[in-house]
Structure 1
Amino acid sequence: MTGALSTATIDALLADAKATGTPVDGANGLLNQMTKAVLDRTLQVEMSDHLGYEHGAPEGRGSGNSRNGLTRKTVSTLSGPVQIEVPRDRNGTFEPTIVPKRARRLGNIDDMILSLYSRGMTTRDIEAHLLEIYGVNASRELISNITDVVVDEIKLWQSRPLDEVYPILYIDGIRVRIKDNGVVTTKVAYLAIGVDVDGRKHSLGCWIQDTEGAKFWAKVLTDLRNRGVRDILIACCDGLTGLPDAIRSIFPDTVVQTCVVHVIRNAMRFVSYKDRKPLAASMREIYTAPTLEAAELARDAFAKTHGKQYPGAVDVWNNAWNDFTPFLDYPAELRKIVYTTNQIESINFQLRKITKNRGHFPDKDAAMKLIYLGLRNISTQRGGASGTGTWGWKIALNTLTQLFPGRLTF
């Protein structure tokens, strides 16, 4: 294979290691020794390039600069700690590239820390993992400093320009525990996912707030508008306090659609376990009704059959009705896309997995850092928060073009 060590070379290295009793991995293993040899040799090559002549070459005489010994230092690598010898020059102008001055870790260690952190491992767990597996001493303060490199990235992400039109916007939240003035309280991180005209889902932003309300939602929607969003056709959300009014205020032509899954869940809170199956069947008649009239008949039948025993479940449907019914005017191919926030609940599920290990966060910035890294990881590994396609989108797009003439831009 091009660029790989030959089989003979590898066999010779392994045979030599076996003869001398050298393990393959570990702090004093073959891989560690090879890493040291490669780094030391590369540093010498960089010095030769810097000076313009090889070690001991006669053209170096009178050149104005020369080698001036070595400095030993230990750097952390995925093979374990490696003590390297960094050459010096008399003028002090040599700036090594492979191991920069003051660097104590190779870049892949930082990348690993970010990867482990984004998957929900605590700083304590990462510290123990690096020490146990790689022999790397990484304090919790160091790990925190490494993950802080994304702070500026978060600011850019939260302020980046957005598309002019999103046919569909989903808004949902996850609960996180954050210390505020010495007291750990529960806050909600709200996530907005926009589906663009190509059917690709994008995470537009995340906002952490103590409680939802009209003022908070007005700020969120104004932020989206200031970043370039001119129009939203359908906003799918879970009846969050003040959100429907804020949407209609900032984007007056937007249709607000309540998430059916959340209506069902809220209704089920009032239902005993043994009765959940028949009530679920009755509710299904409501949200799968072919027309608004049929849905109203199914709702009335649900209230007549179960209202005496479970009036709370009936009230949930009545209270959500006005924001629940818009999708009944749409054909089936569009209903499945807009009637539930399941499109982003898979993302929220991944975020809940990585936040639950924390217990609580020291502040909002720490919570936002982990959520952003989680979103970035989902985007990279699964496409979940940036660029995932929407199933059946072409048919839905044609329907949207007919239902909202002149409002889609391509």
Structure 2
Amino acid sequence: MTMARIKRDPKKVALAQAILEAYQPKSVEDMQDALKDVFGPMFEAMLKGEMNNHLGYDSNDKSPKENDNRRNGYGKKTLKTTQGEIEIEVPRDRDGSFEPTIVPKRQKDVSAIEGKVLAMYARGMSQRDISKTIEDIYGFSVSHEMISDITDSILDELNEWRNRPLKKCYAFTFVDCMYVTLRNDYEVKECAVYVILGYDLQGHKEILGIWLSESESKNYWMQIFDDIKTRGVEDIFFISMDGVSGLEAGAKAIFLNVVVQRCIVHLIRNSIKYIPSKDYKKYTQSLKKVYGAPNLKAANIAFDSFKNEWSQYPGAVDVWVRNFAHIEQLYDYGSDVRKVMYTTNAIESINSSFRKVTKKGSFPNENALFKLLYLRSKELEDKWDGGVVRNWSMVLNQLMVNDKFKNRIDKYINL
């Protein structure tokens, strides 16, 4: 089948032909140089149009004028554009009242470079790499100071985001901590970055916040829960976490009815260190029969079998004996709810994305770190684009038939 030809605007075709005849380009580079040359006259023509509008007449108008202001020659200006640096002539008037809008006074950069710098910064590029990349692509240099000024421009937005009001209810939250290096003069120290991911009652993901402390502790987690409560959160159904000592008690001190779930994947990692590598596969298969059982009775039977089968490794078995309550409580809920609450993979995926951009080295201060993590968070939320968690309708239905949650969902679902 023959595809239909693209219909081009005849005016644009004529313009392209005129450029080709004038420049006779032999390569892509020649075409880009031609476009760069065209940029200057385009800017100048638009500036002349603005001057005509400002004065109320064009340069060829010989009729009597309503005011004494007149054109007063041109000033030269070098612009930074996406095609590189170009020199243009800017019209002037006698009384200096002309304020162009296409290229405002004192503005020399029309390349929208700020957004490009922020995007590169969000991907973990250093100031040196950003500067070199801008110069390689656009043909002009950007100083480290300019890059710092551009990234500092989001500080107000960052602070607003960190203190923004949150939704009143989150069905699921996932908490995790990672470590980064901060330097202060000659002192270098590891600091804990706390992150909370939430699923609201519509099944939308949201990073509730990012916090920084010198170490991970139950007391600081408690302060964080208190912070999100102050910002408007009234109820949380589930918190999935990796097992920080005291975190469960701290969470329940703030949100009385929350269900705290130990991450099964973390428990597997904690127990497998007691198992010889040759038995890893068989061991994890036995475990899956426990936490993947269809009901609690089957889980208990599988757990008894598991304890007998692996009794020669008491360290591994003891991890599960001490934490079996976190297996049992899974079966208070439907299978789709269990699939959401049993692991912290969702938040670990976010921290993995954060680590990709923080592994470049140490940060000179907290602001530098927060700027990077905030921009990365915005990128992640743009990728989610308001999408709904998989099988969310089934998850919500299974919560609705549970007496623990029905009235709480009714209270908040339409807020």
2:122, 2:265 → 1: CA distance?
28
Cα distance change on mapping 1:302 and 1:92 into 2, 3 Å = farther
Deviation, 1:16, is 1.6
Deviation, 1:282, is 2.0
1:211, 1:376 → 2: CA distance?
25
Deviation, 1:94, is 2.6
1:269, 1:89 → 2: CA distance?
79
1:165, 1:60 → 2: CA distance?
70
Where in structure 2 are the equivalents of 1:157-306 lying within 5 Å? 157-180=161-184, 182-306=186-310
Amino acid in structure 1 at the alignment position of 2:214: D
Partner of 1:379 in structure 2? Answer: 381
Amino acid in structure 1 at the alignment position of 2:173: L
1:217, 1:365 → 2: CA distance?
21
Partner of 2:17 in structure 1? Answer: 11
Partner of 1:116 in structure 2? Answer: 120
Cα distance change on mapping 1:354 and 1:22 into 2, 3 Å = closer
Q: Of the candidates 80, 94, 102, which is equivalent to residue 76 of structure 1?
A: 80
Partner of 2:401 in structure 1? Answer: 402
The answer to whether the aligner puts 1:349 opposite 2:352 as a matched pair is: yes
1:303, 1:46 → 2: CA distance?
83
Partner of 2:342 in structure 1? Answer: 339
Amino acid in structure 2 at the alignment position of 1:86: V
Deviation, 1:397, is 0.3
Amino acid in structure 2 at the alignment position of 1:374: R
Tell me the alpha carbon deviations over residues 104-127 of structure 1, each in whole angstroms, 9 at most, x when there is no partner. 322522211112221222221111
Cα distance change on mapping 1:42 and 1:266 into 2, 3 Å = farther
1:299, 1:286 → 2: CA distance?
6
* Equivalent position SS for 1:407: helix
1:91, 1:20 → 2: CA distance?
47
Q: Of the candidates 142, 151, 154, which is equivalent to residue 155 of structure 2?
A: 151
Partner of 1:389 in structure 2? Answer: 388
Deviation, 1:366, is 0.9
Tell me the alpha carbon deviations over residues 219-272 of structure 1, each in whole angstroms, 9 at most, x when there is no partner. 211121111111111111212343212210110011111121222223334444
| Amino-acid identity (%) | 36
1:81, 1:363 → 2: CA distance?
34
Assess if the C-alpha contact under 8 Å between 2:44 and 2:89 holds in 1.
Answer: yes
Where in structure 2 are the equivalents of 1:302-321 lying within 5 Å? 302-309=306-313, 311=315, 313-321=316-324
- Which is worse superposed, 392-401 or 169-178? 169-178
Where in structure 2 are the equivalents of 1:2-151 lying within 5 Å? 6-18=12-24, 23-24=29-30, 29-58=33-62, 61=65, 63-151=67-155
Tell me the alpha carbon deviations over residues 21-67 of structure 1, each in whole angstroms, 9 at most, x when there is no partner. 995356xx112112222222222222222333223534674614333
2:11, 2:251 → 1: CA distance?
61
Assess if the C-alpha contact under 8 Å between 1:257 and 1:325 holds in 2.
Answer: no
- Which is worse superposed, 390-399 or 343-352? 343-352
Deviation, 1:102, is 2.3
Deviation, 1:304, is 3.9
1:267, 1:178 → 2: CA distance?
32
* Equivalent position SS for 1:261: helix
Assess if the C-alpha contact under 8 Å between 2:274 and 2:313 holds in 1.
Answer: no
Cα distance change on mapping 1:86 and 1:244 into 2, 3 Å = farther
TM-score (norm 1): 0.89
Assess if the C-alpha contact under 8 Å between 2:206 and 2:381 holds in 1.
Answer: no
1:293, 1:69 → 2: CA distance?
91
Q: Alpha carbon RMSD of aligned pairs, Å?
A: 2.6
Cα distance change on mapping 1:309 and 1:138 into 2, 3 Å = same
Deviation, 1:350, is 2.4
* Equivalent position SS for 1:120: coil
Flag structure 1 segments of 5+ consecutive residues without an equivalent: none
Assess if the C-alpha contact under 8 Å between 2:261 and 2:342 holds in 1.
Answer: yes
Tell me the alpha carbon deviations over residues 51-109 of structure 1, each in whole angstroms, 9 at most, x when there is no partner. 33223534674614333332222222211112222223333333322222222322522
Deviation, 1:177, is 2.1
1:70, 1:270 → 2: CA distance?
80
* Equivalent position SS for 1:203: strand
Assess if the C-alpha contact under 8 Å between 1:239 and 1:320 holds in 2.
Answer: no
1:122, 1:365 → 2: CA distance?
15
Partner of 2:3 in structure 1? Answer: none
- Which is worse superposed, 261-270 or 333-342? 261-270
TM-score (norm 2): 0.88
Deviation, 1:323, is 4.2
1:377, 1:5 → 2: CA distance?
39
1:282, 1:165 → 2: CA distance?
37
Assess if the C-alpha contact under 8 Å between 1:66 and 1:89 holds in 2.
Answer: yes
Flag structure 2 segments of 5+ consecutive residues without an equivalent: 1-6
* Equivalent position SS for 2:289: helix
Amino acid in structure 1 at the alignment position of 2:398: T
- Which is worse superposed, 257-266 or 288-297? 288-297
2:305, 2:215 → 1: CA distance?
36
Cα distance change on mapping 1:88 and 1:240 into 2, 3 Å = farther
2:72, 2:332 → 1: CA distance?
80
Amino acid in structure 2 at the alignment position of 1:90: R
1:183, 1:307 → 2: CA distance?
48
Assess if the C-alpha contact under 8 Å between 1:175 and 1:189 holds in 2.
Answer: yes
* Equivalent position SS for 1:185: strand
